[in-house]
Structures are given as C-alpha cells and as structure tokens.
Amino acid sequence: MSVAKKEYKRVTVKSLVDMKQNGEKISMLTAYDYSMAKIVDAANVDVILVGDSASNVMAGHETTLPITLDQMIYHASSVIRAVQRALVVVDIPFGSYQSDPKEALRSAIRIMKESGAHAVKVEGGQEIKDSVKRILNAGIPVMGHLGLTPQSIYKFGTYTVRAKEDEEAQKLKNDAKMLEKIGCFAIVLEKIPAALAKEVAESVSIPIIGIGAGNGVDGQVLVVHDLLGITQEFNPRFLRRYLNLYEDMSNAISQYVDDVKTKDFPNNEEQY
C-alpha cells in the first residue's frame, strides 16, 4: 500500500512526531560502523540506532552488558561520519546511567560531544525517571525503551515475550505515559504483545517504534545484521530476513581463497 510521504532532507525529532501525526510509518535500523551506516542512510532509513547490540553483533558478547561508553562513542562517531539524512540515536550502555542522574547526564554529554550524535536512548521506566529528566533538562533528546530491555536480561532470565500478564502490562503503560510526560521524543517497545503495543501507541502523542511488537505502532526497528542475514543463530518469529548475506559472503570469500590457491587471482589485468 502506498502512503503519501513528505520529503525530509534531514530527519529530526520533530520530523518523527510529524510522521506519526501524518500516519507515515517510521523506519529505523541499527548501524555500528561507517560503511554500513552509509548504505543504511542512502536507503532513506529515518532513524539509525547505534545500538548496544554492537556488544553482540560486533564484539561477539552473549549480552549487551559488557560494552563500554568509550566503545559506544567509537561506534557512534564512525556512524555519524557517514550519515547525511537520518536521525542518529545512540544507546547509553549498561552501567553509565542507572546509578545516579549526574552520571547519566555526564554519559549523555560525552556521547553527544564526542560522537556528534543527535539523541540518546535508555532502557527502563519509573526506575530511571530522574536520570532521564536530568538528561532532558540539558537539552539532549531522549528515546525510551520498554518491554524486553536487554540490559536487564539477568533480571528476566530469558528473552521471551514481556508484559503478557496484567501487572507488567499496566506498569509498561504507566511508564510510557510517564516518559511522554517528562519529554522523551519516542519510545522503543521490544517483544511485547501486539495488542498492548497498539494500545500504547494510541495512548501517547510521541512515536512508538516496535521490534517484535506488531504492526499497530508508529514504526519498526531491526538489527541490520539480522535483516541482511549476516547473523545466523538469531531466529525470533518477528524477524524478516531480506537476504542471506552470510551465505553470499562466505561463497564469495571461499571463491577468493580458491582463486588465490589456484593462482587465478590476480590475472594479467589485475596487476601493474
């Protein structure tokens, strides 16, 4: 189905609210390095998330917990150098904002100053309200993240769907309202029932971006390596793979190895 789309030369936090009001869905993807960010930006993705999923995808850790603030700043500055259109949002990593609002603000300022990013993202609701307020008071746009929040994986114990029970669903609804009230510009809802995500999206004026949260929200986010099929082990129901790059890349690399071994590469035209 085609949708009337306004052209945005540069996506801002305000453009995202306009998109929600105009019924235009928001596209968001991760990127962690210059080359990938260039491709993602040129494809007109609205928001690029320098996610702390870099901890899994780029560094091979089992969880997002080990990645550091310095490492996130390194990834974010590589992405920023590539981007001309998208809004670039950077995850504040685990341990850099939960202990107190002053530390949260210091971390957010480092990300904005040292990488040139446009906004930050944090995981959680009421528990981190004071930290979020402190960051917002400094003029830094904040995106919230509720539902399955991977930085709390050891509290949850598993990566299964969150907020299926009434109590957790009610807390999530309250947290979304609270994040809107204090001034967050958008919220990611991860792996929650589609009906609940839709209800939240309809109850707030800021954009709700879903991952595993159904189609009733204002936009979608995926990890770009999952969408491209570079990662192989991760196969949740919500994931749509658009390519099997793992196979294509490994075939190409095997072919290169063969060509070197058989002295086919380089040929006469490929030398000076």
- Chain residue at closest Cβ approach to ligand KIV: 51
Which residue's CB is nearer to ligand KIV, number 127 or number 248? 127
Which residue's CB is nearer to ligand KIV, number 50 or number 267? 50
Q: Nearest approach, Cβ of 240 to ligand KIV (angstroms)?
A: 14
| Cα–Cα nearest to 34, from 88, 85, 77 | 77
Q: Which residue has tokens 């589609």?
A: 194
Which residue's CB is nearer to ligand KIV, number 80 or number 188? 188
Which of the following is catalytic: 190, 199, 202, 269?
Answer: 190
Q: Nearest approach, Cβ of 223 to ligand KIV (angstroms)?
A: 5
Q: Nearest approach, Cβ of 208 to ligand KIV (angstroms)?
A: 12
Q: Nearest approach, Cβ of 201 to ligand KIV (angstroms)?
A: 16
CB 79, CB 31: distance < 8 Å: yes
Three-state SS at 50: strand
Three-state SS at 189: strand
Angle at which helices 166-182 and 194-203 pack, to 10 degrees?
30
Could you give the angle at the alpha carbon of 166 between the alpha carbons of 198 and 155, nearest 5°?
A: 95
Q: Which residues pair with 4 in a beta bridge?
A: none
CB 185, CB 15: distance < 8 Å: no
Task: Write the CB contacts of 240 (distance below 8 Å, at least 6 apart in sequence).
Answer: 222, 227
Q: Nearest approach, Cβ of 33 to ligand KIV (angstroms)?
A: 14
Which residue's CB is nearer to ligand KIV, number 40 or number 223? 223
Q: Nearest approach, Cβ of 57 to ligand KIV (angstroms)?
A: 8
Three-state SS at 33: coil
- What are the φ/ψ torsions at residue 239 (nearest 5 degrees)? -85, 125
10 Å Cβ neighbour count for 266? 11
| Cα–Cα nearest to 163, from 130, 196, 185 | 196
190 carries an active-site annotation: yes
Which residue's CB is nearer to ligand KIV, number 153 or number 252? 153
| Cα–Cα nearest to 151, from 79, 67, 75, 71 | 67
Which residue's CB is nearer to ligand KIV, number 5 or number 87? 87
* CA separation for the pair 79, 35 (Å, rounded): 8
Interface with ligand KIV (CB under 6 A)? 30, 49, 51-53, 91, 145, 188, 190, 211, 221, 223
Q: Which residues are catalytic?
A: 190
